[in-house]
Structure 1
Amino acid sequence: MAHHGWGGRPPASDAEARQRIVDATARCVDRHGAAKTTLTDVANELGVTRQTVYRHFDRITDIIGEVAAQGAESFVDRLIAHLRGIGDPAEAVVEGMVFCVRTIPTEPRLSLLLQLTDSDAFGRGATTADVIAYGAQMLRRYPVDWEAAGVGADDLHGLAEIIMRLLTSLLQHPADPPRDEARLRALLTRWLAPALSAGPGRAVRPG
């Protein structure tokens, strides 16, 4: 690990170096936007060479992806806190989607998810197996007894895929004129909630 630059405070470990690169990238993105942030910008922000950054990340998109991922972790914690006390599966899913549509576009690190196109949650990779599995893991944190609602472990992956696809569309192609929260909630309650309101044993399953 290089001991030059770094504002006179070289990192004590590779893990610290990577985190400082991620933090510097976040600052660059705040100033320039994700599309205009380059690896040179990040290196200059840290006072190191491009090669030093390359020792830890192969591409600028990899660093921006990590910025987005760390923002997503904090976001999910806040989402789960927002849903506390909502045990009905239909209400929890609808309210969770309303929260996502309201929150993601207003926060820089979350908005990165909309701009990434290689492998991240709200770009073209939104239906990949890894992202769907992440969505299912997130659903397991909801304050919902999924088994009692007739939604098994395999069903959660299907539900996660539907949510990711729908959320991608709502975020990338908002309604014109825009819907307020009440109208979005009404739309989702009318067309999405019924699939989760059937109760145990009544869900339609593929043959």
Structure 2
Amino acid sequence: MARRRGWGGSPPENDGEAHRRIVATAVELIGETGSAISIADVADALGVIRQTVYRYFPSAEALMTAAAIASVDGFLDRLTAHVAGLEDPAEAMTEGVIYTLAEVRRTPHLGILLSNSYSDLDPDSLTSEQAQAFGMSMIHRFDVDWNKHGYDEESLRELVEYVLRTMHSFFASPGNPPRTEDRLRAYLHRWMGTAITAQREYSAGRRS
């Protein structure tokens, strides 16, 4: 009877539904608290024991990652709209970084996806396969002809790693006082933008 009272009185019909409801609850809790959550938090919200949640997710980190991925499509849609029409790679990437930095602080799910922990950024996680895949999803939505600017798939992956590392530096230390948006834009366009546009010349040199 106790198990029937869990899940809000309506147990899932199968494992797929249980998985989706656990993730949905985690998404809701992260949105409410603005921070990482525990297996116990989700179990309590669902009215089930922790072992039930562990059946589907081996750790809180795995659950938070699933919640972040479930939430990220909306962010990518907003990012795409924000950089729409920007065909210059330096300009598009600069705007993308500025937008992402702001969104991470407003959207806990995104911070968890990029750092594994909203409150404790792990440098290695920003270059993980998951973060790299997220970064590739971002830049493939830009209106930039990457091939025209000397980028193939390998160099795009290196660019994503470089940009993730750059963003991590601002996550870890935004500055004291932090730059205004306009000053940050100018800073990134001057230094990061110069590195991004250098790929065309580098690629041409390799072919010659």
Which interval holds the TM-score relative to the shorter structure?
0.7 to 0.9
For residues 70 and 155 of structure 1, do their structure 2 counterparts lie closer, same or farther at Cα, with a shift above 3 Å needed?
A: same
Partner of 1:15: 16
Aligned counterparts, 1:1-207, within 5 A: 4=4, 5-30=6-31, 34-35=35-36, 37-113=37-113, 116=116, 123-198=123-198, 200-203=200-203
| Structure 2 letter corresponding to 1:145 | D
Unmatched tracts of structure 2, length 5 or more: none
Higher helix proportion (structure 1 or 2): 2
Query: Matched residues in 2 for 1:167 and 1:105: separation?
Result: 12
Size of the aligned set, in residue pairs, is 202
Query: Matched residues in 2 for 1:53 and 1:24: separation?
Result: 11
TM-score normalised by the chain length of structure 1: 0.84
Q: RMSD in angstroms over aligned alpha carbons? A: 2.8
Q: Deviation of residue 38 (structure 1)?
A: 2.8
Deviations 1:121-165 (A, max 9, x none): 975311234432442343122111111111122110110110010
| Percent identical | 37
CA contact (8 A) 1:195 1:203 kept: no
For residues 33 and 152 of structure 1, do their structure 2 counterparts lie closer, same or farther at Cα, with a shift above 3 Å needed?
A: closer
Query: Matched residues in 2 for 1:66 and 1:81: separation?
Result: 24
For residues 198 and 33 of structure 1, do their structure 2 counterparts lie closer, same or farther at Cα, with a shift above 3 Å needed?
A: closer
| Structure 2 letter corresponding to 1:139 | I
Q: Aligned to 2:148, what secondary structure does the other structure show?
A: coil
CA contact (8 A) 2:27 2:71 kept: no
CA contact (8 A) 1:34 1:64 kept: no
Of the structure 1 ranges 187-196 and 123-132, higher mean CA displacement relative to structure 2 is found in 123-132
Query: Matched residues in 1 for 2:137 and 2:112: separation?
Result: 21
Query: Matched residues in 2 for 1:140 and 1:30: separation?
Result: 27
Deviations 1:79-115 (A, max 9, x none): 1121111111111011101111122111232233466
Deviations 1:42-67 (A, max 9, x none): 11211122222122111122111212
CA contact (8 A) 2:43 2:50 kept: yes
